[in-house]
Amino acid sequence: MSAERKTLEERAQMSDIDRLRHSCAHVMATAILRLWPNAQFAYGPPVENGFYYDFDLPDHRITPDDFEKIEAEMKKIAKENQKFEWKGVSRDEAIALAKSGRLGGLTERPGNPSTFKLDLLEKIPEGEQISTFQNGDFIDLCAGPHVGYTSKCKNVKIMSVASAFYMGDETKPQLQRLYGTAFPTKEELDQHLVQLEEAKKRDHRKLGKELKLFHIDEDVGQGLILWTPNGATLRQELQNFISEELRKQGYSQVFTPHIGKTVLYKTSGHFPYYKDSQFSPVIENDDLTKIIKEGCGCCEMMERLGAVSAKLRSQLNERVGTEVVTEDRVLPDDKLLDGFLLKPMNCPHHIKIFDSQPRSYRDLPVRLAEFGTVYRWEQSGELNGMTRVRGFTQDDAHLFCTEEQVADEVLGCLSLVKIVLNTLGMHDYRVRVGLRDPDSSKFTGDPAKWDAAEEACRKAAATLGVPFTEEPGEAAFYGPKIDFVIKDVIGREWQLGTVQVDYVLPVRFDLSYIGPDNKPHRPVMIHRAPFGSMERFCGVLIEHFAGHFPAWLAPEQVRVLTISEKADAFASDVFAQLKAAGLRATFDNAADKIGAKIRNAQLDKVPYMLVVGEKEAAVQSVAVRHSKKGDLGVKPIADFIAEITDEVKERRL
């Protein structure tokens, strides 16, 4: 949980489903107190797909064995149809309720004050209305909102239990966190539970291991993906696909190092402002030896690494036209420490490639593309297989264009994303257009240019023929953006591709091109990544296809299976023809029965199985089976090769 409190206005805007789930958290707390009266509750918000409540229960550790009785008690409370009643109280009244144990309890609890509620009361600003909600005997410190009666809270399910530090702070007590979910109808709840079961079967971590697609090794490091041969084939096919499309659209492929000097990221503004999400800088050996001899401590070292020269401060502030680097970050040149960062993003390197030679308006747009690996520091608890990692490869590109070219270039980027999604059968998606909040100081640059860029993004999004929403305040600090949110085959949403317009970095790096008036002009920069990252995209694809990849993506496209050794000679010839045709094929002539061989191929999710026995050998044909369609009949090997070659070439699903 974030320690940031929501305002009363933000709470009032809670959706109907979140209002229901918020109420269910109170019903769950009531049920827990009926079973364990000494429970001390902290907070219980709605979250994506459910709700939770954090609490301390010293004399009992909740386990899945307790879920059934908690649910049974919750259903009793729902049947009692208790009213959710709001009551405003003074700060003194609220403190008295908490000290008596009544706040967050069913009754007064002498000697057992509501310690977390007392702490939360201190966080409520002076002058803000303090309110409680009561259902039955349970009174809670809460600003709401809630449904009218507990009878609405009958379609509930306890999902899991975990540990969580109070307020997310490791220095504070560790509490129990009980998760649940709720829906307006039983049908919706049942559908959600079925979806969760299906998600377990499709879990990319499980399938990735079974299909030998990737490996995470403790000695290498958590969040760092080892692409095994099967997974590398999947990734390479995706890269080949996007590379073909990039060539058609006039992109130039580039390669950049995995590290860069800290001054590069000081100029871009990424270091040290985003240092919490970056790996620590690497200091050159000579400098490290020198500062050790000087007795430089860790705090001083980090200060010197994050500092800038007076010259760089002056240049950046002058270019941007406002104070983006404050004076307190300046140190004398002999005190500055330069180091290297594991590349947290590719854009500064691409900027340097653009700026490595003079540019004319006739050269624009310049489109630079790279499958560039970047590194971000993620907390270990946030890592999740391939979808949340510390090192990932972006199908990244940066376009440098004139103001007049922005609209067409954004359209081109969106068409590329659309080609990618349609080819992979991901037709169910929506688009978010992130706009600036005019009242926020987060967004920098000329308002007129922002207006033009936002209008270009709106018009481009409208051409896609899918729903899109405008979200003020969700732009990047340097310009508006368009995000693609994909819904997979079981209804889950994933944020994948993105297109972002950037007016800030060209200014910070003082980029220019010579215009038709023979004067320097500032280019506009567009960031785009249709896949987002190869790791995340492949993780989503594994789950989307449940490991049953179409033939063009499958690491193993065809497996030749012999019925007996009498067919080995012809089967070996079939295998050789498949390999000669450029297909990814294997040959299983083990002594196992054919049923076992087919079952093994099915488990490995090989799209095509060619069964070869004496009958097939006699007519120079193969019995074709598909992993999902079953028996496709007997075909001459030449016909099968022609058919699958066309299927792969056309990237059919």
Tens digits of residue pLDDT in 22-81? 999 999 999 999 999 999 999 999 998 899 999 999 889 999 999 999 999 999 999 999
Helix (H) or strand (E) holding 206: helix 204-210
pLDDT digits (tens, 9 = 90+) for 28-39: 999 999 999 999
Do residue 155 and residue 24 come from a single domain? Answer: yes
Average pLDDT, rounded, for the chain: 92
User: What does the alpha-carbon distance between residue 568 and residue 336 come to, in Å, rounded to a whole number?
Assistant: 71
Confidence class of residue 8 from pLDDT cuts 50, 70 and 90? low
Do residue 533 and residue 586 come from a single domain? Answer: no
Confidence class of residue 489 from pLDDT cuts 50, 70 and 90? confident
* Span 2-21, average pLDDT: 73
Least confident range from 113-122, 332-341, 403-412, 448-457: namely: 448-457
Helix (H) or strand (E) holding 190: helix 186-202
Q: Considering the chain, what percentage of its residues have pLDDT values greater than 70?
A: 97
Residue 444 has a pLDDT of 66
Do residue 503 and residue 570 come from a single domain? Answer: no
* Span 349-363, average pLDDT: 97
Judge whether 376 counts as a catalytic residue. Answer: yes
Q: Residue 213 domain-assigned?
A: no
Query: Is residue 501 predicted with pLDDT exceeding 70?
Result: yes
Q: Residue 221 domain-assigned?
A: no
Q: Residue 41 domain-assigned?
A: yes
To 5 degrees, how large is the angle CA 349–CA 351–CA 352? Answer: 65
* Span 319-328, average pLDDT: 89
Choose the catalytic residue: 54, 140, 395, 396.
Answer: 396
Do residue 171 and residue 316 come from a single domain? Answer: no
| CA dihedral sign, ordered 171, 172, 178, 184 | negative
Confidence class of residue 465 from pLDDT cuts 50, 70 and 90? confident
Q: Residue 597 domain-assigned?
A: yes
Judge whether 394 counts as a catalytic residue. Answer: yes
pTM, 2 dp? 0.82
Confidence class of residue 9 from pLDDT cuts 50, 70 and 90? low
Judge whether 584 counts as a catalytic residue. Answer: no
Query: Is residue 1 predicted with pLDDT exceeding 50?
Result: no
Confidence class of residue 537 from pLDDT cuts 50, 70 and 90? very high
The answer to whether the beta carbons of residues 479 and 504 sit under 8 Å apart is yes
Confidence class of residue 213 from pLDDT cuts 50, 70 and 90? very high
Choose the catalytic residue: 266, 527, 536, 597.
Answer: 527
Judge whether 204 counts as a catalytic residue. Answer: no
CATH number at residue 185: 3.30.980.10
User: What does the alpha-carbon distance between residue 319 and residue 268 come to, in Å, rounded to a whole number?
Assistant: 12
Q: Number of structural domains, the chain?
A: 4
Q: Please report, to the nearest 10 degrees, the dihedral formed by the alpha carbons of residues 451, 456, 459, 463 taken in order.
A: -160
* Span 353-373, average pLDDT: 97
Judge whether 548 counts as a catalytic residue. Answer: no
Choose the catalytic residue: 40, 176, 278, 394.
Answer: 394
Let me know how many helices (H) and strands (E) the chain has, helices first. 21, 28
Choose the catalytic residue: 154, 376, 528, 544.
Answer: 376
pLDDT digits (tens, 9 = 90+) for 258-286: 999 999 999 998 888 777 889 999 998 88
Query: Is residue 346 predicted with pLDDT exceeding 80?
Result: yes
The answer to whether the beta carbons of residues 480 and 443 sit under 8 Å apart is no
Residue 487 has a pLDDT of 84
Q: Is 274 helix (H, G, I), strand (E, B) or coil?
A: coil
Do residue 144 and residue 272 come from a single domain? Answer: no
Q: Considering the chain, what percentage of its residues have pLDDT values greater than 90?
A: 73
Do residue 146 and residue 46 come from a single domain? Answer: yes
Do residue 137 and residue 53 come from a single domain? Answer: yes
The answer to whether the beta carbons of residues 291 and 268 sit under 8 Å apart is no
Query: Is residue 2 predicted with pLDDT exceeding 50?
Result: no
Do residue 323 and residue 362 come from a single domain? Answer: no
Q: Residue 215 domain-assigned?
A: no
| Structural domain boundaries enclosing 619 | 558-649
The residues that bridge with 521 in the sheet, in sequence order, are 513
Choose the catalytic residue: 367, 398, 508, 528.
Answer: 398
* Span 119-130, average pLDDT: 90
Q: Residue 641 domain-assigned?
A: yes
Q: Residue 549 domain-assigned?
A: no
* Span 611-629, average pLDDT: 95
User: What does the alpha-carbon distance between residue 180 and residue 161 come to, in Å, rounded to a whole number?
Assistant: 9
- In the listed set 303, 321, 345, which residue is the last one of a domain according to the structure? 345
Query: Is residue 5 predicted with pLDDT exceeding 60?
Result: no
Residue 12 has a pLDDT of 66
CATH number at residue 597: 3.40.50.800
Judge whether 396 counts as a catalytic residue. Answer: yes
Do residue 513 and residue 602 come from a single domain? Answer: no
Per DSSP, which regions of 390-480 are E strands? 391-401, 429-435, 468-472
- How many residues does this entry show for the chain? 653
Judge whether 119 counts as a catalytic residue. Answer: no
